[in-house]
Amino acid sequence: AIEFIHKRLIAMRDQGKAVLVVSVELDEIRSLSDRILVMFAGRIVGERGPEATEGELGLLMAGVEHQEAAQ
């Protein structure tokens, strides 16, 4: 069932349709997405592409924004 859903999501993405996926499974998000927005405490703290590392996305998920992580 998950494979069917993933194929449908990818087909919709490839047609240029917006698809919102909410998950903590980073491999799944990266394989389905062409753009990843990370929210923390009700606001968007970062936008990355699917090439973003688990560490980078994990920091954003913990509320550490790019400027803070660089310090």
What range defines the domain where residue 28 resides? 21-70
pLDDT at 40: 93
Q: Is residue 52 in a domain?
A: yes
- Give the pLDDT band (50/70/90) at residue 71: very low
3-state secondary structure of 19: coil
Q: What are phi and psi of 21, to 5 degrees?
A: -120, 130
61 exposed, middle or buried (CB, 10 Å; 0-12, 13-18, 19+)?
middle
Residue 70 has pLDDT above 80, yes or no: no
Number of domains in the chain: 1
Sign of CA dihedral 32, 40, 43, 70: negative
Contact present, 47 and 66 (Cβ < 8 Å): no
Asked if residue 9 is part of any domain, the answer here is no
- DSSP class of residue 62 equals T
Which tens digits make up the pLDDT trace of 34-62?
999 999 999 999 999 999 999 999 999 99
- Mean pLDDT over 13-33 rounds to 91
